Amino acid sequence: MSMDDMAIPHRPAPKVDPAVLPEWLIEEDDDFLVFDKPGWLVCHPSKDGPWSSLVGAVREWRGLETLHLVSRLDRETSGIILIAKNAKAASLSQTAMERRWVTKTYYALVQGELKEPVQVDQPLGPDETSKVAVKSAVRTGPGTLAAATFFEPLLSSQGFSLLRVQPHTGRKHQIRIHAQWLGHPIVGDKLYGGDDSLYLEFVEHGWTERLAKQCALERQALHANQLEFKAPHFQRTFRAPLASDMRQFIVQRMGFSEDVLQKTLAMSEGRGINH
């Protein structure tokens, strides 16, 4: 389990409410369950019982012993999670993921007003200057891996931007690191949004008054919006609408109307980006 998935001390991790879980189900057929994961829940089963993770809760809800997690997200990242219900569907979708026959699209709220689309091609490796062991950074030399991310601004105002993001590689924390490198860290990102003290304070004490002043949102404002599979024998597109806390931020902090936001999202999802 990564540090992203760990429960924070001094604040018990919430459990999935069995009555609410069905509301997160976006789509279902004979092969897949598609969920819109909230930004406080881990994907993988934990030691805190079945209702402490999405997979554990779904197993309990449906009485299924075997579920195949095709995609996963960090605890604080909301959005689309694809679960295969049988081995054949799992093989098709997981192979597509491994061979990069899938386009992933995210929405991110970032600090600062990004004016133009930008492609970041910067290698990633362990952050040797950080006190946080799990932290990575843009760097060169041994132990680094190539990484590429495309960022496109959709709305900008009041010192913040809503971006549509497509990672072309699947490195850990890639979007968050590249956003930081651009000078536009993701809103609410305690690991890559400031200095190490924010994250260390969060791990040690949970949510504090200082963090509330430093972070405009209590979680990192990153949302997995779409998975588009383009495999030879598997073409499917799955979507999860923008999370409510991010929508609220855009309206209340950035000053855009619900109508403008909805039209922007509809245009974004309707045309796609190919970079």
- Based on the number of CB atoms within 10 Å of its own CB, is 10 exposed (0-12), middle (13-18) or buried (19 or more)? exposed
Q: Judge contact between 40 and 76, C-beta under 8 A.
A: yes
The backbone torsions φ and ψ at residue 49, rounded to the nearest 5 degrees and listed phi first, read: 95, 165
**Residue entry with tokens 């809760």:** 57
256 contacts 155 by C-beta, under 8 angstroms:
yes
Closest CA to 174 of 207, 138, 204, 199: 138
Strand 222-231 to 234-239 pairing: antiparallel
Structure tokens at 263: 């039209």
- 3-state SS, 103-160, equals EEEEEEEEECCCCCCEEEECCEEECCCCCCCCCEEECCCCCCECCEEEEEEEEEECCE
Q: Tell me 8's DSSP state.
A: P
Active site residues: 74
Helix runs in 1-72, H state only: 54-62
